[in-house]
Amino acid sequence: MPQEPVSHPMSAVIQSPGPLPECLPLAVGDPGRVLLFGGGRRLGLGEFLAEARALAATLPEARHVAHLAEDRHRFLLGFCAAALRGQAALLPPSGAPGAVAEILRRHGDGGAYRLDASSPLPSGAPGPAPDMPQVVAGALAAIGYTSGSTGQPQAHAKTWAAFAAGTAQNLAALRDLWGDAQPWIVATVPPQHMYGMEMSVLLPLLGGAAVHAGRPLLPADVARALEEAGGARLLVTTPAHLRALLQSGVALPPLAGIVSATAPLPRELAAAAEARFGAEVREVFGSTETCVIARRRPARETAWTPLPGVRLAPQPGGTLVHAPHLPAPVALADLVEIEAGGCFQLRGRQADLLEIGGKRASLGDITRRLLAGPGVEDGVIVQLEPERAGGVGRIAALAGAPGLAAADIVAALRATVDPVFLPRRIRLLPRLPRNATGKLRRDELLALLADAPAP
């Protein structure tokens, strides 16, 4: 993987008066506003910053720190404490020891260490709320990593200015869900993922939201966390988690809205969630490379509306993204079709397009049809590697479909899918190997399909 083209200032935090570089606040709002809630406790911004200063005093000297804690309190505390020391956050794509060790090795030349669930927290009552610390706008804030779902995880650097501009755009995309109230966020996604970082770390710090201190996953835990919210409840989740909530039958308290990302949200799933939970489901589109760049209401819309200042330019094999929070245009592998007025349709990725026997289809569309089949709770369509040079890879499927046989799945697909694109191998599983954000790694899918039988 290439090295990050970033500079490393001695400190990103400004504490003293006098002529300064362009600076931004580490957090916004009144010190008394609620930043964290959960477990019967509400933590104000001023009290939290005092905790962060206490932790910062105990941290070692280094340029980078890998943040591994998944509960929001520990993550936010470590993130802000490291920022107070001018240290950039490393956001590993997974907590696997090998993946973390590789990231620490890559950044070890300037010093790197890790903060995780076992790291000590400050003890004792915090002191009086200090003045709001400032960070240098152009300083490195974090290095995020792609999920590796289509290959090796790639690193992408983010400055404080980029985070602040992106947060302003996210507020523009979502603020009408909660109006003038303070949003109280419950997130099922990890803060290390860029979507989780934007919605459950930066919105609380730079957008004035409160966030649940934990990371609830089971439907009953999500419901309890939402009950603890003291204002407009916003559920930040993924299609996989949203599907699990619907299948569980759990009742949720009144919501201001539901936000989804990390994978395409089927219209049927979004509509069912809106009907069950009585709140709009808003989908956001982005990537580790770009952060969030567009929004839509999938229960009613297929087209995406770009966020303010975002412009997409189709190019061979993908799309070039121009945005105020990006220092330079970013190329994505996603194919788009621009509509009149600037909205766009996603048309998959070049790697997802299939051409067999002179006919064309896409993996994403066939997966959507698989998921729409009766009794299918989860699933994905993949194209296997060709068995010989110049050959065409066969179509295969993994599905979670209790009580169904592989032949049942093929029969359902046959009604809407051309026979040349029907899966030639099917593996039925109790659950698919989705990661913390609901994504599937291609290498793991291929391993599961290596000896899968024909339907």
Q: Over its length of 455 residues, how does the chain's per-residue pLDDT go in tens digits?
A: 333 333 333 334 433 334 446 999 999 999 999 999 999 999 999 999 999 999 999 999 999 999 999 889 999 999 999 999 999 999 988 787 888 888 888 887 667 889 888 776 676 555 655 689 999 999 999 999 886 555 567 889 999 999 999 999 999 999 999 999 999 999 999 999 999 999 999 999 999 999 999 999 999 999 999 999 999 999 999 998 999 999 999 999 999 999 999 888 999 999 999 999 999 999 999 999 999 999 999 999 999 999 999 999 999 889 999 998 898 999 998 999 999 889 999 988 777 778 787 777 888 889 989 988 999 989 999 998 887 776 788 899 999 999 999 999 999 999 999 898 999 999 999 999 988 777 888 888 989 998 777 77
Q: Return d(Cα 82, Cα 97) in angstroms, integer.
A: 21
User: Residue holding tokens 């939402």?
Assistant: 226
**Which residues in 340-431 belong to E strands, given as ranges?**
344-349, 353-356, 359-362, 378-383, 395-400, 425-428
Q: All domains of the chain, ordered by start, with CATH?
A: 13-348 (3.40.50.12780), 357-449 (3.30.300.30)
Q: Are strands 64-67 and 112-115 parallel, antiparallel or unpaired?
A: parallel
Q: Is 236:255 a contact under the CB 8 Å cutoff? A: no
Kind of pairing between the strands at 64-67 and 88-91: parallel
Task: Provide the pLDDT for residue 372.
Answer: 87
CA angle 42–48–50, rounded 5-degree value: 140
Q: What beta strand segments (E) does 160-225 contain?
A: 183-187, 210-212
- Largest pairwise CA distance in the chain: 73
Q: Phi first, then psi: what are they for 235, rounded to 5°?
A: -95, 120
Residue 318, SS3 per DSSP: strand
> What does the pLDDT read at residue 389?
73
Helix axes of 219-227 and 239-248: crossing angle, nearest 10 degrees: 90
Q: Is 240 helix (H, G, I), strand (E, B) or coil?
A: helix
Q: In what order do the strands lie in the sheet with 134-136?
A: 13-14, 134-136, 23-25
227: left (phi over 0), alpha (psi -120 to 50) or beta: alpha
Amino acid 387 reads E
For residue 8, the model assigns a pLDDT of 34
Q: What value, to the nearest 5°, has the Cα angle with vertex 213 and ends 207 and 215? A: 105
What angle do the packed helices 45-56 and 72-84 form, to 10 degrees? Answer: 60
DSSP H helix total and E strand total for the chain: 12, 27
Q: What is the pLDDT of residue 390?
A: 67
Check residue 438 and give its pLDDT: 78
Tokens of 451: 């000896």
Residues 6+ apart with CB under 8 A from 248: 219, 220
Where in 280-422 does DSSP place strands (E)? 281-287, 291-296, 305-306, 311-315, 318-322, 330-332, 334-338, 344-349, 353-356, 359-362, 378-383, 395-400
Question: Is residue 98 classed exposed, middle or buried when 0-12, 13-18 and 19+ CB atoms within 10 A define those classes?
Answer: exposed
